[in-house]
Amino acid sequence: MTAAVEDRPLLRVDRLSVEFGGPAARLRVVDEVSFDIEAGETVGLVGESGSGKSITALSILRLVPEPPSHLAGGRVLLDGVDLTTLPRDQLPDIRGRDIAMIFQEPMSSLNPVQRIGDQVAEAILLHQKLDAASRRARVLDLLRLVGIPDPSRRIDAYPHQFSGGMRQRVMIAMALACNPRLLIADEPTTALDVTIQAQVLALLRDLKTEFGTAILLITHDLGVVAESCQRVVVMYAGRVVESGPVRAIFRNPSHPYTRALLQSIPRLDEERRRLHQIPGNVPPPGPLRAGCAFHTRCAERLLRCATDRPPMMQLGGGHQAACWLAGPMAQAPMAQAVTP
C-alpha cells in the first residue's frame, strides 16, 4: 500500500451493501453503508445487536464467507485501493499488515492448543520474515507493550491460563504485531468487568497516541464512544442513520434512534429516573424495505416514514442524519405526525 495522500481518508467505506442467501431469496444485512476514517482517528460504530456493525467490519476485510454472503454493491477504499476488487490471494498481504482486527470473543478466537507466543508470532512470520530469535524478541516486546506481566514466562503459556482481560490483551498484541495503520476493534470490552474494560480502553488510547494507529471501535456502549472516539457512526437495521463528531451528536442528536440510545444511558445524577426503553426490537434481515427502518419503533414518526426512505441530511460540521425530521426536510410537505 502507498502512503495516504492528504486529500483522501485512510479508509473510505462507500455505499457498502452485503446480502446473504441465493439469488431467489437474498437478505440485505448491510445496506449502502458509508463512512470515512482518517489516519490516526478513532471512529465509533454503534447500534443495538443486529444492527449490522460486525458484518460491516468483517466485510471491510472480506472475512465473511462468500457464499453464503454476497457483495451487493459499494466499495472499500484503503488509500484509494478498492479492497472489494482485489484477488483473494492478495488479501493476506493487507490483513495484519495494513488493517488488523481484534475479534469480539478472545477465547474462541485464540487456538486453545497453541502457545500464546506462537499465535502472536503468526503475523510477524507472514509479513516480516524475521528469524526465530528476532520473532521471539518482537513477541516479548508486544506482550510488554500491552501489559502482560512476566512476558518471558507467559509467552509459552496457553490461552486457558490467562484471564479474560489478559486474553483480550493478547488479541491486541496479535493485532499490533506488524504496526497496522488501521485497527478494527469489535466489542473489545465485551464480558469484561468495568475495571478491566477501562484498562483495555486506556491501552487502545495509549497505542493510538504512540503509533498514530487509526481505530474503528465497534460497540453498543455510547459511554465508551464518548470517552474514546472523535467521530461516531450510528447504525440501525444495516443502515447508517446518523454520523458526525462525537460532541455534535451527543449535544444535538438529530435522529430519533440516536436520541433513544442516549436516553438509555444510566446517569449518576438521576438515580431515581426510570431507564428509557426503546419499544420493540431491531427487525431481522430481509428484502429491501421501503421507508425508514426505525419507523415502527419511533414515537416521532411521520406518515412518509413508512413509505419514503429519508436521504442523508447534511447538518453542518460533518454532522448528518437520515431522518425526515432533520434539517430543512423537517418543514417539507407530508410532515404530518402519526400517533404511535
The pTM (predicted TM-score) of the whole model is 0.88
Across residues 76-85, what is the average pLDDT? 94
Tens-place pLDDT, residues 154-208: 999 999 999 888 888 898 888 888 889 999 999 887 767 788 788 888 888 888 8
Say what the pLDDT of residue 92 is: 87
Domains parsed from the chain with CATH numbers:
11-98+180-287 (3.40.50.300), 107-177 (no CATH)
Say what the pLDDT of residue 270 is: 57
Give residue 241's pLDDT band: very low, low, confident or very high (50, 70, 90).
Answer: very high
163 near 173, Cβ under 8 Å? Answer: no
40 near 213, Cβ under 8 Å? Answer: yes
Angle at 318 between CA 317 and CA 323, to 5 degrees: 110
267 near 273, Cβ under 8 Å? Answer: yes
Query: Range with the lowest mean pLDDT among 30-34, 240-244, 283-287?
Result: 283-287
Percent of the chain with pLDDT over 90: 51
148 — phi, psi (to 5°)? -80, 120
Q: How far is CA 53 from the centre of its chain?
A: 6
Query: What is the C-alpha to C-alpha distance for residues 86 and 67, in angstroms, rounded to an integer?
Result: 17
* Residue 71: pLDDT over 80: yes
Three-state secondary structure call for residue 85: helix
In the numeric block, which cell numbers belong to residue 212? 498514530
* Residue 236: pLDDT over 90: yes
Query: What is the C-alpha to C-alpha distance for residues 280 and 298, in angstroms, rounded to an integer?
Result: 10
Three-state secondary structure call for residue 119: helix
Tens-place pLDDT, residues 94-135: 888 899 998 877 677 889 999 999 999 988 888 887 889 999
Query: What is the C-alpha to C-alpha distance for residues 271 and 282, in angstroms, rounded to an integer?
Result: 28
Sign of CA dihedral 226, 227, 230, 234: negative
Q: What is the largest CA-CA distance in the chain?
A: 71
Say what the pLDDT of residue 9 is: 94
Percent of the chain with pLDDT over 70: 91
240 near 234, Cβ under 8 Å? Answer: yes
Query: What is the C-alpha to C-alpha distance for residues 159 and 172, in angstroms, rounded to an integer?
Result: 14
Say what the pLDDT of residue 121 is: 92
Q: What is the mean pLDDT of the chain?
A: 87
Cβ count within 10 A of residue 269: 5
Across residues 211-224, what is the average pLDDT? 90
Tens-place pLDDT, residues 314-338: 999 999 999 999 876 555 544 445 5
By the 10 Å C-beta count (0-12 exposed, 13-18 middle, 19+ buried), 339 is classed as exposed
Angle at 30 between CA 24 and CA 35, to 5 degrees: 150
293 near 32, Cβ under 8 Å? Answer: no
Q: CA-CA-CA-CA torsion for 291, 294, 296, 302, nearest 10 degrees?
A: -60
CA distances from 315 to 79, 257, 329 (A): 27, 17, 11
Q: How far is CA 172 from the centre of its chain?
A: 15
